[in-house]
């Protein structure tokens, strides 16, 4: 079968399309004929070797973290899905394998695809959708009347985050360039600041929570837009001790390293009287089924920017790496 194989860490040519043996489903796993797979910044960060501390893969490895397709076979003891079911999934942490004609995934991470979506749209949901859900519902605990600031609302995660924050009842302030304004307004953002023309820190105040999708300078300035007692959750900055323990299930050594690395950010958070949390999302079939229900109920729609044929996955990577995608970038394996 065709697969995007990572053979070494590096630039775009470190991963290439190759013919590799088809995987076999192990106990509790299903074999999925992949129809489409979503791209995410984690893919090029992995390729570049930037995440080795968090996730080390024995090379060569088939890349790709989320997929939509049809169940082809079941491993021993896998009973939740039948051959022919249309499913989608965020692959297990430390596994990957979605950029291929076939992939195996634990049935616990799989959910039935929303019937109204085609494969390309469904493939863009799992990673970004679950990330936004877990950050807003579980970490920021948004509810009716909460005020949340989401810098970077027009990208893969942001387009889910705006809709989910609205569904939770929050008032949403976001940033977008003129290229993304109409999109974030359509998704329900209450206040949109053009970050290319205005300083958001001059306009935003008293937020209960911030969901930071940008990191760097944007994150540093976001501490100042919150009320005391609020929480800032980042997915784009520096991990902290809870990331090691809660998200990665790792021990004291990594927690201590993250404690040191995040020292400055946590000190800044303390100065502003807010909490700092770096979330590394968790794959979950049950939570993905919840997102599918929201999609079927008309509360959530994936925004797909571009769909590339699988043979053009290098161009899909280049487009995502430009940092300008509006919604999700997807590759299609089957016509």
Ligand X SMILES: NC(=O)c1ccc[n+]([C@@H]2O[C@H](COP(=O)([O-])OP(=O)(O)OC[C@H]3O[C@@H](n4cnc5c(N)ncnc54)[C@H](OP(=O)(O)O)[C@@H]3O)[C@@H](O)[C@H]2O)c1
Query: Using the rule CB under 6 A, which residue among 9, 57, 167, 195 binds ligand X?
Result: 195
Query: Using the rule CB under 6 A, which residue among 5, 91, 219, 325 binds ligand X?
Result: 325
User: What binding mask, one character per residue, do residues 234-273 give for ligand X by CB under 6 A, x or -?
Assistant: -xx-------------------------------------
Shortest distance, position 220 Cβ to ligand X, whole Å = 12
Shortest distance, position 135 Cβ to ligand X, whole Å = 8
Shortest distance, position 180 Cβ to ligand X, whole Å = 4
Size of the site for ligand X (CB under 6 A): 32
- What's the 3-state SS for the chain? CEEEEECCCCCHHHEEEEECCCCCCCCCEEEEEEEEEEECHHHHHHHCCCCCCCCCCCCCEECCCEEEEEEEEECCCCCCCCCCCEEEEECCCCCCCCCECEEEEEHHHEEECCCCCCHHHHHCCHHHHHHHHHHHHHHCCCCCCCEEEECCCCCHHHHHHHHHHHHCCCEEEEEECHHHHHHHHHCCCCEEEECCCCCHHHCCCCEEEEEECCCHHHHHHHHHHEEEEEEEEECCCCCCHHHHHHHCCCCHHHHHHHHHHCHHHHHHHHHCCCEEEECCCCCCHHHHHHHHHHHHCCCCCCCEEEEEEHHHHHHHHHHHHCCCCCCEEEEECCC
Any contact of residue 181 with ligand X (CB under 6 A)? no
Shortest distance, position 33 Cβ to ligand X, whole Å = 26
Shortest distance, position 119 Cβ to ligand X, whole Å = 19
Shortest distance, position 40 Cβ to ligand X, whole Å = 5
User: What binding mask, one character per residue, do residues 111-140 give for ligand X by CB under 6 A, x or -?
Assistant: ----------------xx--x---------
Query: Using the rule CB under 6 A, which residue among 23, 25, 126, 152 binds ligand X?
Result: 152
Q: Which residues bind ligand X (CB under 6 A)?
A: 40-42, 127-128, 131, 151-152, 154-158, 175-177, 179-180, 195, 213-214, 218, 235-236, 279-281, 320, 323-326
């Amino acid at each position: 079968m065709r697969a995007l194989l990572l053979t070494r860490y590096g630039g775009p040519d470190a991963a290439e399309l190759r013919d590799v043996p088809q995987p076999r489903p192990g106990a509790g796993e299903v074999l999925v004929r992949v129809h489409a797979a979503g791209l995410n910044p984690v893919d090029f960060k992995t390729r570049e070797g930037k995440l080795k501390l968090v996730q080390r893969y024995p090379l060569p490895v088939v890349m790709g973290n989320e997929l939509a397709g049809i169940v082809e076979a079941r491993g021993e003891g896998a009973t939740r899905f039948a051959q022919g079911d249309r499913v989608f999934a965020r692959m297990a942490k430390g596994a990957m394998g979605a950029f291929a004609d076939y992939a195996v995934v634990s049935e616990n991470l799989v959910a039935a695809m929303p019937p109204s979506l085609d494969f390309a749209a469904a493939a863009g949901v799992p990673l970004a959708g679950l990330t936004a859900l877990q950050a807003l519902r579980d970490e920021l605990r948004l509810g009716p009347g909460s005020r949340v600031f989401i810098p970077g609302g027009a990208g893969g995660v942001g387009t889910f985050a705006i809709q989910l924050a609205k569904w939770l009842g929050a008032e949403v302030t976001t940033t977008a360039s003129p290229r993304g304004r109409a999109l974030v307004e359509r998704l329900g953002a209450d206040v949109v600041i053009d970050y290319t023309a205005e300083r958001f820190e001059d306009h935003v105040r008293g937020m209960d929570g911030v969901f930071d999708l940008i990191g760097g300078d944007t994150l540093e300035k976001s501490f100042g837009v919150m009320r005391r007692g609020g929480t800032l959750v980042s997915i784009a900055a520096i991990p902290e001790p809870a990331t090691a323990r809660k998200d990665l299930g790792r021990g004291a050594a990594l927690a201590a390293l993250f404690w040191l690395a995040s020292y400055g950010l946590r000190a800044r958070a303390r100065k502003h009287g807010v909490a700092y949390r770096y979330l590394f999302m968790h794959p979950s079939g049950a939570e993905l089924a919840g997102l599918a229900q929201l999609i079927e109920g008309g509360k959530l729609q994936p925004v797909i920017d571009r769909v590339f044929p699988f043979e053009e996955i290098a161009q899909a990577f280049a487009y995502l790496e430009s940092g300008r995608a509006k919604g999700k970038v997807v590759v299609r394996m089957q016509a």
